[in-house]
Chain A
Amino acid sequence: MNVPSPAMLSAKNFKSDTKPIWCPGCGDYAVLTSLTRALASLGRPPEEVAMISGIGCSSRIPAYMNCYGFHGVHGRALPLATGLKVARPDLTVIAAGGDGDGYSIGGNHFMHACRRNVDLTYIVMDNHVYGMTKGQSSPTTEPDWDNALTPGGTGVRPFQPLVVALASGANFVARAFSGDIVGTADIMTQAIKSPGFSLVEVLSPCVTFRPEQREWKDLVRPSPVPATDDPARAARRLMTDDGFNIGVLYTGQRQPYRPKGSETEKSLDALCQEFVI
């Protein structure tokens, strides 16, 4: 594929020829559009970008993109992305997946990725359901949501991704809504630019197993206050959050994790010199 100069990149340069097999109306289509637009606006050529995912409908996203892609195993997008980033700090590494993948089976990795603060962007397409396995409760599902595996609901308190991210040390924490393509692309752009670990939690409806999520478009609203760099303020705001405030919550100042020795990276010439006898 002929890739134009960075200044000329468009979203199309980041889309692959593979046609998505998501259900018509799935929120993930719009996430794909936002992400490809964000990458185009950043001007990084596709060969400097890597998309790493787990398993789920949402985790199919690398196949639909034109950049390096890795469709991993269920729940392990973040450890995979971490390994890639420390080996190739020069790449823009984006991890992506669903709420089941990231907060259930991969929940422990989520906390530790926030703590470690490796320079990654994590995009979670949150539809409050395991879509791929046909509609079971995930950690973010409402406790009373009725489904085949937990009739009447799990009765279990939902997982709070933004609270956990903030408490665990993520450097950038935001919520987006897939239906707002422009706004989501803008949040993703900021997230990728922000050093350290960035969480972009995207409300992305599953129209097949949660058709009522079509109403999310009427429930979401721009967050009434701008982003803060004060974790205490961000935490207070989350205390009154109903899950539908959209925007960047927190942009911190923590130094991102650096692989040992990366500051003193030697040039190839210097390395060659060491081997001269």
Chain B
Amino acid sequence: MSDARQQRMLLTGNHAVAWAARLARPKVVPGYPITPQTPILEKLTEFHASGELDAELITPESEHSVMAACIPASLTGVRVFTATASQGLLLMHELLHYASGARAPIVMANVNRTPASPWGFWPDQTDSVAQRDTGWIQFYSESAQESLDTVIQAFRVAEAVLVPTMVNHDAFYVSHAVEPVEVPHQDVVDGFLPAYSPPHRIDPQNPESWGNVVTQEMYNRHRRDLGEALARVPEVALQADREWGALTGRSWGIVERYRCEGAATVIVTMGSMCGTVRDAVDALRQSGHAAGLLKIRLFRPLPVEALRAALVGVPDVVVLDRNYSPGHGGVLHQELRAALYGIDKAPRIHGLLAGVGGMNVSAERIADLVRETVVGAPRAESVWVK
């Protein structure tokens, strides 16, 4: 729907993210280059140089310093955006915990890429699923358009609950692929994102301090507060997504059900693989196998209620993990089993390690894997497939 409120452009996933960040009007953008994230920073720099982005862009000496700069900048009460990938995200780990503890609603795009060693530049979500315990909200996007919409929504959600938010998209498949993208008009985004005004901020007129040493009791309470904020996220995210839908004609849900009506098998995954699974679902349906896709868009907090509602009574669920937790298996597989454990009419859950290390898994292959998998009993561990 190209209209006065949005303009269609050909953009890569990374440039769509840069557009979203620009439209959100961040005031501070620290960044350190890393393949395949660099085009996000380059595009933002271009916007800045042409006067279209009024922000302080800084290039610290590492990602650790980038996240360190983000936190106090955010706590002054301004919008902060950054982007990274793989090793950069891993290097930030210490400060990811700090940022959520300090309740700094930073928005960060992460381009999912294999972590070292060995070295690779391939799409793989191990980098970000490994940050699931840091207290950050995490979204996964499937396309350039979704990445643009999600980054804008992420500011809304992050600021509503004061929790930092990460928007992930897969290396190259999304980050570098060019697609037609509807870029909303600045007024639309301004209307959607109210001016950011946190209840507490670093302000010399009203001195407060962050990060102090606390008692066990205070620490315990602090963790619970963070948990309560995260518990509100599914509702807040859905509300934001609905409003965005009303403004732009696009909403994505926190999970998406594709052809799940009466499904005998539902495939669950996240990120770029969802596109391929849609084709696999169509092929399976064509051949008489009632299959559907459940796409997880919000991964942290895991929307347990929505997952239960979507999967209760489905005979078989096949989880495709493009990540690997050695000694444990596919992270989504394990999380889904925990989320559905103990409910009535729980599905049989099969976990497949498909696409780890960036391996390409075609729609035909996924359809075959599903047919082969559901005839057997679910295995305790995730199964490696090619």
Tell me whether A and B are bound partners.
yes
A100 to chain B, nearest CB (A): 9
Interface size on B, residues (CB 8 A): 18
Contacts of A133 in B (CB 8 A): 33-35, 38
Once A71-B119, A73-B87, A150-B45 are accepted as A-B contacts, the answer to whether A105 and B62 lie under 8 Å apart by CB is yes
Chain A residues, Cβ within 8 Å of B116: 73
- Besides A75-B62, A132-B35, A136-B38, 14 more A-B contacts (Cβ < 8 Å) are A55-B87, A55-B119, A74-B87, A105-B61, A130-B33, A133-B34, A133-B38, A136-B59, A137-B59, A139-B61, A148-B45, A149-B31, A151-B49, A152-B49
List the interface of chain B (C-beta within 8 A of A): 31-35, 38, 41-42, 45-46, 49, 59, 61-62, 87, 116-117, 119
Number of A-B contacts (CB under 8 A): 45
Q: Which of A5-63 contact B (CB under 8 A)?
A: 55
25 CB contacts below 8 A, A to B, read A71-B119, A73-B116, A75-B62, A104-B61, A107-B61, A133-B33, A133-B34, A133-B35, A133-B38, A134-B33, A136-B33, A136-B38, A136-B59, A137-B59, A139-B61, A148-B45, A148-B46, A149-B31, A149-B33, A149-B41, A149-B59, A150-B45, A150-B59, A151-B49, A152-B49
Residues of A within 8 A of B61 (CB): 104-105, 107, 139
Q: Complex formed: what's the CA distance from A213 to B42 in Å?
A: 23
Q: Please classify the interface of chain B as helix (H, G, I), strand (E, B), loop, or mixed, using the class held by over half of its residues.
A: loop
- How far is it, in angstroms, between the C-alpha of A132 and the C-alpha of B117 when the chains are bound? 18
Interface string of A122-133 (1 = CB under 8 A from B): 000000001011
Q: For residue B59, which residues in chain A have a CB less than 8 angstroms away from its CB?
A: 136-137, 149-150, 154
Q: Which residues of A contact B119 (CB under 8 A)?
A: 55, 71
Question: Closest approach, in angstroms, between the C-beta of B27 and any C-beta of chain A?
Answer: 18
Of the residues B32, B38, B45, contact of A151 by C-beta under 8 Å? B45
- Asked whether B45 lies within 8 Å of A149 as measured between CB atoms, the reply is yes
State whether B87 touches A104 (Cβ < 8 A).
Answer: no
Query: Within the assembled complex, what's the spacing in Å between the Cα atoms of A130 and B32?
Result: 11
The 4 residue pairs across chains A and B that have the minimum distance between CB atoms: A105-B62, A133-B33, A151-B49, A104-B61
Task: Encode A60-84 as 1/0 by CB contact (under 8 A) with B.
Answer: 0000000000010111000000000
CB of A71, distance to nearest CB on chain B (Å): 7
User: Which A residues lie within 8 Å of B45 (CB)?
Assistant: 148-151
Min Cβ gap B244→A in Å is 31
Residues of B within 8 A of A149 (CB): 31, 33, 38, 41-42, 45, 59
With contact pairs A130-B33, A136-B33 given, residues A148 and B42 touching in the complex (Cβ less than 8 Å):
yes
Q: Which residues of B contact A132 (CB under 8 A)?
A: 35
Question: How far apart are the CA atoms of A60 and B54 in the complex, in Å?
Answer: 39
B62 with A104: CB separation less than 8 A: yes
Residues of chain B with a CB closer than 8 A to A104's CB: 61-62
How many angstroms from the CA of A104 to the CA of B33 in the assembled complex? 12
Q: How far is the CB of A158 from chain B (nearest CB, A)?
A: 13
Complexed CA–CA distance, A47 and B77 (Å) = 57
Contact residues, A228-277 vs B (CB, 8 A) = none
A107 to B62, CA, bound (A): 10
Which residue of the partner chain B has the closest CB to A130? B33
Chain B's closest residue to A150 (CB) is B59
Tell me how far the C-beta of B355 lies from the nearest C-beta in chain A, rounded to whole angstroms: 24
CA distance A104 to B35 in the complex (A): 17
Complex CA distance for A126 and B117, rounded to whole angstroms: 25
A86 to B187, CA, bound (A): 61
Determine the distance from Cα of A116 to Cα of B38 in the docked complex, in whole angstroms: 35
Once the chains are docked, how many angstroms separate the CA of A137 from the CA of B42?
A: 13
Which residues in B have their C-beta under 8 angstroms from that of A154?
Answer: 59
Interchain nearest-CB distance for B176 vs A (Å)? 13
Q: How far is the CA of A149 from the CA of B38 in the complex (A)?
A: 9
CB proximity of A77 to chain B, nearest CB, Å: 14
Chain A min CB distance to B90 (Å) = 9
Residues of B within 8 A of A139 (CB): 61
Task: Scan residues 101-142 of chain A and give those whose CB is less than 8 A from a CB of chain B.
Answer: 104-105, 107, 130, 132-134, 136-137, 139
Q: Determine the chain A residues whose CB is within 8 A of the CB of B117 once the complex forms.
A: 71, 73
Complex: A151 Cα to B119 Cα, angstroms: 31
A265 to chain B, nearest CB (A): 32
In the assembled complex, the CB of A138 is this many whole angstroms from the nearest CB of chain B, namely: 10
Alpha-carbon gap, A165 to B32, bound state (A):
25
Minimum CB–CB distance from B140 to chain A (whole Å) comes to: 24
The CA-CA distance from A151 to B34 in the complex, in Å, is 18
| A55→B91 CA distance, assembly (Å) | 14
- Do B38 and A134 touch (CB < 8 A)? yes
User: In whole angstroms, what is the CA distance A55 to B33 when docked?
Assistant: 13
